[in-house]
Amino acid sequence: MDIHEIEELIGLIENKDIMEIEYSKGDEKIRIVRAVEITKKAGKTPQERPDEMPGTLHPDTDEGNAFISVNSPFVGTFYCAPSPSEKPFVEIGTKVKKGQTIGIVEAMKLMNAIEADADGAIKQILKKDGDPVEFGEPLFIIDPEG
């Protein structure tokens, strides 16, 4: 697969409501996933807005703050701690650094670390330990000014 074929695939999802495309040709396989910005409606959590696509930037128009949503990169099961007997990676108010592990999503028997997308403080934890999660579903909200 050459760069022109990849650019063609990217062109297929630009300006369309397609979030993800997967293409295989022989032994080669490529998956392209697009991030989407959404506007946070004041006072509502992502679960209360099923009509909107999950994204990464949540401007809070009432407070003038921009919050960062950390979304699940997989379909699987969310875990807030490394094991049931250990304490959670983070709690509301925990200060985090970009790249710090803040949760785990188990997908196909593999444990995948979920990392903070930015420095800041955990504003919301949107899933409970053991909850099923979908691809792109918001897991955490980070306040970069926190």
Print pLDDT tens along the chain (146 aa).
Answer: 677 777 776 776 666 666 677 778 888 877 776 654 433 333 444 444 444 433 444 444 445 558 899 999 889 999 999 988 999 999 999 999 999 999 999 988 888 899 998 999 999 999 999 999 999 899 999 999 87
Residues 28, 94 within the same domain: no
Residues 63, 134 within the same domain: yes
Residues 54, 110 within the same domain: yes
Domain that holds residue 51: 36-143
Containing 7, the helix (H) or strand (E) segment is helix 3-13
Residues 132, 62 within the same domain: yes
Residues 92, 26 within the same domain: no
Report which residue type is found at 72.
Answer: S
Q: In this structure, what token pair is assigned to residue 128?
A: 């409970």
Instruction: Check residue 75 and report its DSSP letter.
Output: S
As a whole number of angstroms, the distance between CA 34 and CA 14 comes to 9
Residues 25, 78 within the same domain: no
Residues 8, 76 within the same domain: no
Q: In this structure, what token pair is assigned to residue 23?
A: 């293409």
Q: Which of 114, 108, 53 is nearest to 80 (CA)?
A: 114
As a whole number of angstroms, the distance between CA 94 and CA 45 comes to 19
Pairing assessment for the beta strands 101-107 and 120-125 based on DSSP bridges: unpaired
Residues 62, 126 within the same domain: yes
Number of domains comprising the chain: 2
Q: Within 10 Å of residue 113's Cβ, how many Cβ atoms?
A: 13
Residues in the chain: 146
pTM of the model: 0.58
